Structure 1
Amino acid sequence: MPEIRVLSAADAPIYREVRLNALTHDPNAFLVDPDQYRQVPLETIEGQLSSELNGKFTLGAFLDGGLVGMCTFIRETHPKIRHKGKVVAVYVAPAARGQGMARSLMETLIARVRSYGDVEQIQLGVSHTQIAAQQLYTSLGFVVFGLEKKAIKQNGQYLDEEWRVLEL
């Protein structure tokens, strides 16, 4: 069973390594380019992981002490849309897939967001190429509320993105 916990600034070096692997080996799942991410100073990543400022947090899944999965929740800060937030940067390393790791991460994220008491929706976007992720999100209760055609253009190829919501 994985250990799932909120990442802190001390986790920045391992987070950076796993995130870079994600961006390199699964580019259709992320907007950020690996070369772009390599330029981000470690101090910036430490700052991003250092606190749950405004309801933002990143969960990490650990197996045998190693970080093998992660996901981030970003709560909206504007008063008129503070009742919702977004899930971004969901990733499980290939060697750890098929073991329920992404489900555990997402269930932990959903439970944590529910505990806030005033978040009503969790939204996320998922590329049409990410079939396993779509199936997971459907099984967790996320429903499609929109389809953005040609949402991403990478190496001359377009990717459509489904927008989903989980009503809490």
Structure 2
Amino acid sequence: MPEIRVLNASDAPIYRELRLQALTHDPNAFLVDPDQYRQMPLETIEGQLSSEEDGKFTLGAFLDEKLVGMCTFIRESHPKIRHKGKVVAVYVAPEARGQGVARKLMETLIERVRSYGDVEQIQLGVSHTQVAAQKLYTRLGFEIFGIEKQAVKQNGEYLDEEWRVLKL
């Protein structure tokens, strides 16, 4: 079973490595270009991981002390929409798939967000090509509330994106 914990600035080097793997291995699942990310200074990544300000946090999943999975929650900042937040950058390394890592990451994220007491819904987007992720989100109770046609254009091809919500 994976160990799940909140990542911090000292995790920036291993986070960067896994994020680059994600962007390279599953480019259709992420908007960020691997070459752009590779140019990002480590200090920027440290800053992104250094604070849990305003309900933003990144979870890491570790197997045998190696970072093999991650996901980030970003709470909305505007007062009229602070009752919701988004899950982004969900990824599990290929060698760790099928071991419940993504489920444990998402269950931990949901539990943590519930503990805030005033977040009513968690939203996420998932590419129509990410079938395993769609199945997991359905099992966790996320419901589709919209399909964005041609949400992403990559190499001349369009990808649709499902938008899902979990009411807490």
TM-score bracket relative to the smaller structure = over 0.9
Q: How does 1:76-115 map to 2 (within 5 A)?
A: 76-115=76-115
Aligned twin of 2:139: 139
Q: Which structure 2 residue ranges, 5 or more long, are not aligned?
A: none
Q: Offset at 1:134?
A: 0.2
Q: Offset at 1:101?
A: 0.3
User: Aligned letter for 1:13?
Assistant: P
Name the Cα RMSD after superposition: 0.4
Q: Is 1:35 aligned with 2:71? A: no
Deviation >4 Å, runs of 4+: none
| Secondary structure of residue in 1 paired with 2:116 | coil
Q: How does 1:108-123 map to 2 (within 5 A)?
A: 108-123=108-123
Aligned twin of 2:148: 148
Distance between the aligned counterparts of 1:18 and 1:127, measured in 2? 20
Aligned twin of 2:125: 125
Distance between the aligned counterparts of 1:85 and 1:67, measured in 2? 24
- Percent identity of equivalent pairs: 86
Distance between the aligned counterparts of 1:39 and 1:50, measured in 2? 19
Distance between the aligned counterparts of 1:167 and 1:126, measured in 2? 17
Q: Is 1:65 aligned with 2:75? A: no
Aligned twin of 1:23: 23
User: Aligned letter for 2:160?
Assistant: D
Q: Which structure 1 residue ranges, 5 or more long, are not aligned?
A: none
User: Aligned letter for 1:68?
Assistant: V
TM-score relative to the length of structure 2: 0.99
Q: Offset at 1:39?
A: 1.3
Distance between the aligned counterparts of 1:132 and 1:94, measured in 2? 12
User: Aligned letter for 1:17?
Assistant: E
| Secondary structure of residue in 2 paired with 1:115 | helix
- What count of residue pairs does the alignment treat as equivalent? 168
